[in-house]
Amino acid sequence: HGNSLRALVKYLENISDEDIEKLEIATGEIYVYSINEQGDVASKEIKQ
């Protein structure tokens, strides 16, 4: 599931291929995004 989650984060946050390889998402970590009317990320919160 890690690769699927990284792909979603990469898309939402416009992260480069190089930088996404360094992203580690811990088990149980919850990413909450608020999306604006234009479909862009307005805010992000990481819950443990």
Kindly write down the DSSP assignment for every residue of 1-47, as one continuous string.
Answer: -HHHHHHHHHHHHT--HHHHTT----TT-EEEEEE-TTS-EEEEEEE
pLDDT tens per residue across span 6-43: 999 999 999 999 999 999 999 999 999 999 999 999 99
Instruction: Enter the pTM of the model.
Output: 0.81
Inter-residue contact 20 to 9 (CB < 8 Å): yes
Instruction: Determine the pLDDT at residue 2.
Output: 78
